[in-house]
Amino acid sequence: MWKEIRDREAGKIRPKSFSSRIKFNRISNLQLTNYKDIVSSHRGSINSLQVDLTEGRYLLSGASDASAAIYDIQRATNYEGNGLIAKHKSIVSVDKQHEKGHKYAISSAIWYPVDTGLFITGSYDHNIKVWDTNTTKVVMNFKMPGKVYRTAMSTLATSHMLIAAGTEDVQVRLCDIASGAFAHTLSGHRDGVMTVEWSTSSEWVLITGGCDGAIRFWDIRRAGCFLVLDQSQSQLGRRPPVLDHSAANKVSVSKPLSTGQSSLVKSRAPQKKYTNGHGIKQSTIGRMPAKGSARQRLHPGMLSIQDRATAHYGAVTGLKVTEDGMYLLSAGSDSRIKLWDLESGYNTLVNFEKARLQTSKAIQLAISQDSAHVFVPCMTVVKFTGSGTIHRRQ
């Protein structure tokens, strides 16, 4: 570290390079603390973890033994080693013995985004349950058509209380906590839906990844998906330049047109600009020339070629949107991690080293605060990776 500081003072290292080196060294030296111990109450592997979004104090976990538990990670249950080691035992726990508990593995456990009074669990027993944290009672139950792989709620939502559910059924289902019923279903995937993720820039945009290798974007206010990511469409790192509309108009006016060209321009119908509710430009995917000279913007679900586009060679097992809403990370059973530009819908071709990922169930991705590193669970280790590098932590 001191060498980097001397090189920075001497001007041998640029500020951004120096900052990235320091952050990388700190992350690579991460170790389990010897002074804080979270005592797991589960007897099986843990499938889901989430710290509450309001206080950042309570950790919710769901495991393959059909149990869910909550831990207070700020206040210890007791101390050992002359008060040096803080032990954190579960303060709330539900399992198979509970009269309304799940019968099979809990695949997803998430907090209600507004407060810690509710939490949601999804299970392989085809049920999604909404729990009252204080009484550990089930206040709502949604029966699904198959195994529940992943559930998600929008952290931005002010107009709806929807739980998006990905199951082994081909349809994505939206469960409404306010009414206790299904709001509607989203059809488009050709196989089970392994993972779901809400946009961090719009409460209406949902992203889903399926066992068919497709990643689809949905505006839940409209029918059908508005974007399907295609791994064959790529860009090297930077976004393509956006042509100024005024400049484009000047060019089109000043350039002489032939007879055929002028008739083509006249025959075009005016095209509307589509946004996702927050002014984010959507990809040009979905625009194809129709018969003759006229063009029309068609829904991707209506185009057989685009509708069959895939983002991975195999099931999409994990999705994570960066906090700024600009990029999407995806993991697949092809043991690849990909970074997508959400404005253009293109694969940025960032080189994440190939790693063997668990393919039998959905995985939960996490990113560092600066979005420079992604943490990927893999069997008994957690791998963290940046561009071109990959490391392991037990």
Tell me, what's the pLDDT at 365? Answer: 87
Of 383 and 350, the one with more pLDDT: 350
| Cα 283 from chain centre | 19
- Mapping DSSP to helix (H, G, I), strand (E, B) and coil, where does residue 104 land? coil
CA distances (Å), origin 45, targets 42, 61, 339, 356: 7, 10, 28, 18
pLDDT tens figures, 141-166:
999 999 999 999 999 999 999 999 99
pLDDT at 357 over 80: no
Range of the domain at 228: 144-234+303-393
What is the chain's length? 394
Domain count, the chain: 2
333 within some domain: yes
Question: Do 21 and 161 fall into the same domain?
Answer: no
pLDDT at 174 over 90: yes
Tell me, what's the pLDDT at 252? Answer: 38
| Amino acid (one-letter) located at 354 | K
Which candidate, 370, 276, 385, 362, places its Cα nearest to that of 322?
370
Point out the least confidently predicted range of 21-25, 137-141, 293-297: 293-297
Judge whether 195 and 362 are in contact, CB under 8 Å. yes
Q: How confident is the model at residue 196 (pLDDT cuts 50, 70, 90)?
A: very high
Residues 6+ apart with CB under 8 A from 393: 30, 31, 381, 382, 383, 384
Question: Do 354 and 220 fall into the same domain?
Answer: yes
Query: Which region holds residue 180: left if phi is over 0, alpha if psi is between -120 and 50, else beta?
Result: left
Judge whether 315 and 194 are in contact, CB under 8 Å. yes
Q: In what order do the strands lie in the sheet with 215-219?
A: 193-198, 205-210, 215-219, 225-228
105 within some domain: no
Tokens 């839940």 belong to 220
Question: Do 196 and 338 fall into the same domain?
Answer: yes
Chain-wide mean pLDDT for the chain? 80
170 within some domain: yes
Tell me, what's the pLDDT at 13? Answer: 80
22 within some domain: yes
Tell me, what's the pLDDT at 390? Answer: 41
Question: Percent of the chain, pLDDT > 70?
Answer: 77
Tokens 């996490």 belong to 366
Question: Do 7 and 152 fall into the same domain?
Answer: no
pLDDT at 122 over 90: yes
Q: Which string of DSSP letters, residue by residue, matches 291-312?
A: SSS-EEE--GGG-HHHHT--SS
Q: Is the dihedral of CA 289, 295, 297, 302 positive or negative?
A: negative
CATH number for the domain harbouring residue 165: 2.130.10.10
Tell me, what's the pLDDT at 1? Answer: 64
Distance CA 24, CA 365 (A): 18
Q: Which string of DSSP letters, residue by residue, matches 13-68?
A: S-HHHHHHHHHHHHHHT----SSEEE----SS-EEEEEE-TTTS-EEEEEETTS-E
325 within some domain: yes
253 within some domain: no
Q: With DSSP H G I counted as helix, E B as strand and the rest as coil, what are the percentages for the chain, rounded to 5? A: 10, 35, 50
153 within some domain: yes
pLDDT at 265 over 90: no
- The stretch 94-108 carries a mean pLDDT of 94
Distance CA 282, CA 305 (A): 18
In 146-175, which positions are buried (b, 16+ CB within 10 angstroms) versus exposed (e)?
ebbbbbbbbebeeebbbbbbbbbbbbbbbb
pTM exceeds 0.85: no
Point out the least confidently predicted range of 50-59, 109-118, 252-261, 337-346: 252-261
109: β partners:
121
Question: Percent of the chain, pLDDT > 90?
Answer: 51
379 within some domain: yes
- Mapping DSSP to helix (H, G, I), strand (E, B) and coil, where does residue 82 land? coil
Beta-carbon-side half-sphere exposure of residue 210 (alpha carbons within 13 Å): 24
pLDDT tens figures, 281-296:
444 333 333 433 333 3
- The stretch 217-245 carries a mean pLDDT of 77
Tell me, what's the pLDDT at 308? Answer: 83
